[in-house]
Structure 1
């Protein structure tokens, strides 16, 4: 089975590259996949037949066109789209995404998975991995987090593990936030254990991906 995996930014891509072999097995044994990072989530276009501007590489803006294209491409068995919910209502967002996929007609089997509020929630879901990667993490800050809550997730993680916390990152401005998130993915991602993770949204990712390849086997 071959799967195309779409994610909204480079840090998400790095995280998934560490996770997918733990869920699918080694690349090519028997499943294959490719990950594609975009430059932001964007929003679902009102006109689903619009082409969008491919140069901007904004995921939701491009998604209708992408799904139609994948549906016409031989050898693609499924598409997985991994997104942050940010401040959106997750249930409503998922309804919109499924409607978008249905409108693509000949599009491939498409699985949407949503992190609540951000993918950094999945690091909090495996505290052992997080503290192995960052042994000096501030335990009192980590304990303030309620799993899969909308609370400024990446900022709270930064307050726990980055010198100066989220204030220092925001003060420095772009590109530091993106660079720091990529570092977290590279350091924590390989240590995450899917069965140990207590994040409900991570559990939906894990179980959904395993079902996907099980059905396609």
Structure 2
């Protein structure tokens, strides 16, 4: 089975590069995949036939065109699209995404997976990995987090493990937020254990990928 995986930013790509082999096994044994990152999530276009500006590399803006292209490409067994819900209603968002895929002709076998509220929720889902990477993390901040809640997730993680917390990151401005998220993916990602992660949204990604593998035989 070959899977194309789309994610909205480069730190997400870095995290998935670590996690997917833990879920599916080593690359090429027997499954293969490619992970593509974009420069933001964007929004679903009103005109699904619009091509979007490929130079901007905004995921949802280009998704209809991407899915149609994958649907015409031999050798692609599935497309997995991983997105943050941010403050969207997950049920409504997923329905919109499925309607987008249904409107593509031809359409590939497409699996949408949504991190609630952000992919940083998956770090909270494995407390042992988080504390191994950051043993000085503020446990009082970690304890106040409710798993997969909409609570400014990355900011909450920063408040637990970054000197000065999220306020210091926001004060410094770009590119520090992106650099910090890359550091988290690099330090915490390799320590995450997929079967121990208590994040419901991560569990749906893990189980969805494994189901695709079973269906592929």
TM-score (norm 2): 0.99
Could you say which residue in structure 2 is the equivalent of 1:93? 93
- Report the alpha carbon displacement of residue 62 of structure 1 after superposing the two structures with TM: 0.3
Segments of 5+ residues of structure 2 without an aligned counterpart are: none
Pair 1:65-2:65 in alignment: yes
Deviations along 1:34-90, one digit per CA (max 9) or x if unpaired, are 000000000000000000000000000000000000111111111000000000000
Distance (Å, rounded) in 1 between the aligned partners of 2:181 and 2:16: 13
Distance (Å, rounded) in 1 between the aligned partners of 2:76 and 2:201: 25
Pair 1:50-2:50 in alignment: yes
- Report the alpha carbon displacement of residue 121 of structure 1 after superposing the two structures with TM: 0.3
Distance (Å, rounded) in 1 between the aligned partners of 2:187 and 2:180: 11
Distance (Å, rounded) in 1 between the aligned partners of 2:67 and 2:140: 44
Distance (Å, rounded) in 1 between the aligned partners of 2:77 and 2:183: 31
After TM superposition, the runs of 4+ consecutive aligned structure 1 residues lying more than 3 A away are none
Distance (Å, rounded) in 2 between the aligned partners of 1:200 and 1:71: 29
- Report the alpha carbon displacement of residue 212 of structure 1 after superposing the two structures with TM: 0.7
TM-score (norm 1): 0.99
Distance (Å, rounded) in 2 between the aligned partners of 1:159 and 1:151: 12
Pair 1:213-2:213 in alignment: yes
Could you say which residue in structure 1 is the equivalent of 2:183? 183
Could you say which residue in structure 2 is the equivalent of 1:77? 77
Pair 1:115-2:119 in alignment: no
Distance (Å, rounded) in 2 between the aligned partners of 1:30 and 1:113: 23
Pair 1:13-2:7 in alignment: no
Pair 1:169-2:169 in alignment: yes
Could you say which residue in structure 1 is the equivalent of 2:3? 3
Distance (Å, rounded) in 2 between the aligned partners of 1:100 and 1:62: 11
What's the RMSD between the two structures over aligned residues? 0.5
Distance (Å, rounded) in 2 between the aligned partners of 1:180 and 1:37: 17
